[in-house]
Structure 1
Amino acid sequence: MTARGDGFAFPPRRPAERLGVAVVSELVELIVTGQLGEGQMLPPEGPLSEHFGVSRTVVRESVKRLEEKGLVVVSQGRGTQVARVGSWNMLDPVVLSALIDNDASLGVLDELTVVRGSLEAAMAGTLATRRTPEELTRVEHALAAMREIRLETDSFRQADVVFHFTIMELSGNRLAENICKRLYRRAMESHRFHGLTYRSAFESTLDEHALVVDAIARQDAAGAERAMRDHIVTSWQRRRLEGPPG
């Protein structure tokens, strides 16, 4: 039996986790997947409380968490309305994970790749402009660590992450670094981001990283930007899983 409120029918309950976390997680997913659409009013506290099997206090706190994430707008006397997509905090871990996990077309990962590519390219360019010999050595060591592993394994992927994070940190752009790390970490948690394996993946990845290091060594900002952007975008295109037809 599904609880109802204001014409909205909830899907069957999932196994309970910690009460507040479970309520927020399920409501985020309902909003992100469009089951609760933009401009739609959330059911009142009573039906929500009944559906989740929690007190109204827990429901109230959960709605407050949704408001903090930019997913809903609470109006005195009117209730709680789903906010427009442009207002959502897409860097919030729960929101970003729900977007990635429920995006059959992979459009969110496509957008993430464009944003990440632009920001990391800018950071690589900045580093190339003003890198010190010591900083160049750190980047070269990060690439050497990848080469030593010799196979595309979990260890290689971790060394790949270290390479990218090293350039981010050395760029000195704390805001871009923070945004990119949030995007990268969330994406890495999704099997969709890892996608398809392809021949010569190991060699292609090393070659593309080497182009970035070479441009940084020459202090070629434009070349470093281009090499980093091309690597991030083409690497995703190579391993991208096909979305459903239509």
Structure 2
Amino acid sequence: MRQDSPSTLAPSASQPIEAFLNERILTGEWSTGFKLPSEESLRKQFGASRTVVREAIRRLQGRGLVKTVNGSGSFVAGGELQHVSNALNAYSVLAVDHHTFTDLLELRMAIEGDAAAKGAEDREGKAWRQLEAKLQSMSAARIIEEFAILDIDFHMELLRTSGNELFASLGAALRDRYVRFAIDSYRSSEHLRTETMTEHRVIVDAIKSGRSEVARDAARSHVSRSRGRWEELHHVIATPVEQATTRADASVTGKNDANDRRTHEPHGRRALRSNQRKGAS
């Protein structure tokens, strides 16, 4: 039977196997120490060559999800922090639908808000000075790609200033995905660069002045706007639940607007309409 060499494999040849193994590890179906199916079993299941199976396992090893013991097989790796980062990176790469990416933005919103609040508690001023330096580099950037990378670097620095290693590790895992999103966004809008600088400035100033809650709100608001831009850029359609919530909000808003109009309507006009209704009855 002909064996393909790694150099002749199509980039996606091992992806179905990788996705299959990846899903079971990330969902916890296979916990730490679980022995993966044998190469022969995977080969038969997917109708693939041994080389393709081994490539899928190698890719998971590279992300820290799997470890292989010679003569014993491959096992789900332990829960070291780097493995958490690698797993999230794998998830962000393999889960390509738009709603999954907005979920990742919500994760970013939560951890960056807390990171900004913690940075504001830094009495030595190291946090805001590092962020200020990132902001100055962004201001000097002239190329879209460079500005986008520096933008995400600002956010990575924000996570580091929290002192929380898990925050920083999660940010690093998602960095490449966010850089691609940032480049697409800046290419689509001439005004976005100015908006980003303004929003970053609010975050830095809040951290500098030691206002934790203001810093938290500013960071969360900034990422929330990023989510809105992402949805607009990719024409993301709201889920049925989101659509129902939007309709309910619109209904309440409409009723409130109507009440406001009646409240501010001149008394004489209200009386005239009341008399007209009585006459009609």
Measured against the shorter chain, the TM-score band is 0.5 to 0.7
1:168 aligns with 2:159: yes
Are residue 99 (structure 1) and residue 95 (structure 2) matched? yes
Shift of 1:22: 6.5
CA distance in 2, matches of 1:56, 1:147: 46
Decide whether the 8 Å contact of 1:16 with 1:22 is kept in 2: no
**Greater displacement, 172-181 / 191-200:** 191-200
CA gap 1:193/1:237 in 2 versus in 1, 3 angstroms: farther
Unaligned runs of 5+ in 2: 24-28, 30-36, 67-83, 240-281
Q: 1:237 to 1:210 in 2, by over 3 A?
A: same
2:184 paired residue number: 194
- 1:101-137: CA deviation from partner (whole Å, max 9, x where unpaired): xx2xx01111000001100110110010124234322
TM-score of the pair, normalised by structure 2:
0.57
Which structure shows the bigger proportion of residues in helix conformation? 2
Structure 2 CA distance for aligned equivalents of residues 59 and 144 of structure 1: 43
Distance 1:218 1:157, change over 3 A: same
Q: Does 1:222 align with 2:222?
A: no
1:77-226 alignment, distance < 5 Å: 92=87, 93-100=89-96, 103=97, 106-149=98-141, 151=142, 153-188=144-179, 190=180, 194-195=184-185, 197-226=188-217
Q: Secondary structure at the match of 2:50?
A: coil
Query: Does the 8 A contact of 2:65 with 2:86 survive in 1?
Result: no
Taking structure 1 as the reference length, the TM-score comes to 0.64
Measured after TM superposition, the shift of residue 25 of structure 1 is: 2.7
Match of 1:28 in 2: 18
Between structure 1 and structure 2, the one with the greater Rg is: 2
Structure 1: stretches of 5+ with no match in the other structure: 1-14, 34-38, 71-88
Supply the distance in 2 between the matched residues of 1:18 and 1:171 (Cα, whole angstroms). 45
- Measured after TM superposition, the shift of residue 90 of structure 1 is 8.7
Residue 242 (1) aligns with residue 242 (2) = no
1:194–1:239 CA contact under 8 A, matched in 2: no
Distance 2:153 2:204 in 1: 14
- 1:84 counterpart residue number: none
- Higher mean alpha-carbon deviation, 221-230 vs 155-164, is at 155-164
Distance 1:166 1:95, change over 3 A: closer
Aligned length: 202
Work out whether residues 13 and 52 of structure 2, in 8 Å CA contact, stay in contact via their aligned partners in 1: no
Distance, in Å, in 2 between the alignment partners of 1:214 and 1:180 is 22
Identity %: 18
Confirm or deny: 8 A CA contact 2:119 2:162 kept in the other structure: yes
Secondary structure of the residue aligned to 1:52 is coil
**Cα displacement (A) at 1:208:** 0.5
